[in-house]
Structure 1
Amino acid sequence: MHLRIRRSTKKRRHLGFRARMATKSGRKIVNRRRRLRGTYP
């Protein structure tokens, strides 16, 4: 799992949080982080 995510986000690593939210894979990662933190609405 981690390898797949890292490979897909490596070229976008320099982009900010908002820019990452704009991408489909980025939204997935962000959603997963939100769920882990328990800050889901």
Structure 2
Amino acid sequence: MRRTLEGTKIKRQHVSGFRARMATPGGREVLNRRRAKGRHRLAIQAKKRA
């Protein structure tokens, strides 16, 4: 039996990635808020493959 919710990396990038945030006025607000707060990571980042 499968779990009911399984995320996908592609979907996550398309919704929450840096370029997705930059594409809309609301997303840019999110980034600016995170910059103002001093967040080390502004948006999620794909993990580097070894």
Query: TM-score normalized by structure 1?
Result: 0.49
Task: State which structure, 1 or 2, has the greater radius of gyration over its C-alpha atoms.
Answer: 2
- TM-score, with length taken from structure 2: 0.42
Tell me: higher relative CO, structure 1 or 2? Use CA pairs within 8 A at least 6 residues apart. 2
